[in-house]
Amino acid sequence: MVALLILGGLLLIVTGLVWLVMRAFGTSLLWGFGSLLPPVTLAYVLYHWRTARNAVAFGAMGFIPLVVGLTMLAAQDPERLQAILSLRWLGDEQQTASELDIRLNGELNGQRFAPLQAELVDGILSLREGQDFYARRELTIRVGSQPQGALRLDVLPEDAGPQPEIEISWLLPEQELPEARRIPRGYTLHVDLQPVAPNRLAGDFHLVLPPKFATTLSGHLEVFTDRLRYRDGQVDTRYDSRDTLAYVVRDYLQRRFATRDVELAPLPAVSLPARELEVEVEARIGGQPQRLPLQLIKNESRGWRVSRDSFPPLAASAVEAPAPSEAQEPGPTSDSAHAIDRRLRFSLQRLLSNPAQYQELSMRVYTVRGSTAEGRFAGLDRDGRVLIRRNLGGAGAASFSFDLDEVSHVELLEP
C-alpha cells in the first residue's frame, strides 16, 4: 500500500510535468524548449497561467499520495525511509559486491537471486541478498561440522541417508517476517570450494531444488570462512565483528602477559556497530584461568583496540605470527564434547524456565503466522519477550523480540 501511494504520486507528478511541456510547445517552440529548464518552466507558468493551470493542477495532485505514502513509511520503517532518501544503500551494495567474487546465475522462489554476501561459519553455508536484519532472499545449507580446508559435496535426489539440510527464505515488502522453506532431501547439489588465503573458499557451485520451490543456482562462488577481514595481509581491525574483537583481545592478552599460551573463551554478546564497548573477558593464560574487565574503543585510523594498551609487541623469537585460524573462538573441550545434547529435550517451556542455560545458542523461532526467524538466543527482556540476535553478514548485529503469544515453538539448532 505504501509503495503504491508513493509510486502513484510520482506518476501523477511526472505526467503533469510532461503535460506542461506539451502545452509550452503548443504555445511556441521557444517556450517549449525553454520549459525543459526548471527556471524557464516556472516563468512559463507565470506568464501563461491560463494555458498551464490544468497541467500544474494535475501534477500538484500527485503530491497528496506522495506525502501520505512517505508519512506512512516514516511511521512504519523510518530507517528504510532514511536509507532511501540518503541513497546510502547504493554505496553499501557496491562495496559489498566488491568483497567477494560471486558469479552465480539463477533464481530463488521464482525471483532472480544475486547474493552479495556469502560465508561458511560454524558449518553453515549462507548466501544473502540485502543488508537488513532479514535478507530479501537467503539460501542456507547446513553442511555439518566446519570443514578444515576444501569443501566438496555431491548430492543427488535419489541419495539415501542424512543429507545437508537446505533452507530458503524471502521477505516481501509488505511482510514483517520472512517466509522460509526447509528441504531435507530430493535436491541436486554440487559444491567444490578450494581454500584461498587467508580466510576464503572459492570454486564451483550448482544447486537445483524440486520444481515446486522454483530455485536453481549455478556458477562461481567465493565465501568467507570466518568474520575477519584483511587489508594488505593483516587483520583489518576497523571491521565490526565479534571475530575482530576476539583477535584484538587475544593479541592484547598475549602482549600483556608476554606469552602466546592464551585460550580465549567466547566473548559475551555485543551490539555492533559501536564506538566503545565494555566486556568481561574469560581466558586461560599459561594454564591459569583469568577474568578481566576490558574497555574496547574504536577510531577510524587504528580500528578496535583495548583502552590504555601500552604493552610492547612480543619479540619475534618469543612468539610466532598467529595464523588466521587462531583468531577464531576455541572449539569445545573434551568435557563439553561428552556433554548431554540439549536439543533432545528442548522446548519453549524449558527455555523460559532456565534461559541462562541456552544463552548465545543458535535457535529457530516459529511464529503462529507460519514465519520463522533464526539467530542466537540473547535472553528474555523485562516483559518476558524472547530476544533473538542475528549477525548481519559481519557488518554488525541486530535483535528481534517475540511476544510469547506470537511464538508457536522454538527449535534448538546446536547442542
Helices (H), 77-189: 78-86, 88-97
Tell me the mean pLDDT in the region 259-279. 89
- How many Å from the N-terminal Cα to the C-terminal Cα in the chain? 43
Q: What is the pLDDT of residue 177?
A: 85
Give the pLDDT band (50/70/90) at residue 396. low
- What cell does 89 get? 544503500
Listed ranges 109-123, 326-340, 399-413; the one with the highest mean pLDDT: 109-123
- pLDDT of residue 380 exceeding 70, the answer is yes
- Structurally, at CATH architecture level, domain 348-412 sits in Roll (2.30)
Tell me the mean pLDDT in the region 321-342. 46
**pLDDT for 24-83, tens place per residue?**
998 998 888 888 888 888 888 888 898 888 989 998 998 998 888 888 877 766 656 666
* Interatomic CA distance for residues 205 and 223, integer angstroms: 11
* Interatomic CA distance for residues 313 and 301, integer angstroms: 19
pTM of the model: 0.57
Q: What is the pLDDT of residue 248?
A: 94
Which helix (H) or strand (E) segment holds residue 325: the answer is: none
**pLDDT for 101-157, tens place per residue?**
999 999 999 999 999 899 999 899 999 998 777 888 999 999 988 888 899 999 999
To the nearest whole percent, how much of the chain has pLDDT over 70?
Answer: 85
**pLDDT for 147-172, tens place per residue?**
888 999 999 999 988 899 999 999 88
**pLDDT for 270-311, tens place per residue?**
888 889 999 999 999 988 898 999 999 998 888 999 998 888
- What cell does 320 get? 610466532
- Structurally, at CATH architecture level, domain 237-312+320-327 sits in Roll (3.10)
Domain boundaries, the chain: 2-86, 101-224, 237-312+320-327, 348-412
Common-topology check for domains 237-312+320-327 and 348-412: no
Q: Over the Cα atoms of the chain, what is R_g?
A: 27
* Residue 398 bridge partners (DSSP): 390
- Which carries the bigger pLDDT value, residue 183 or residue 342? 183
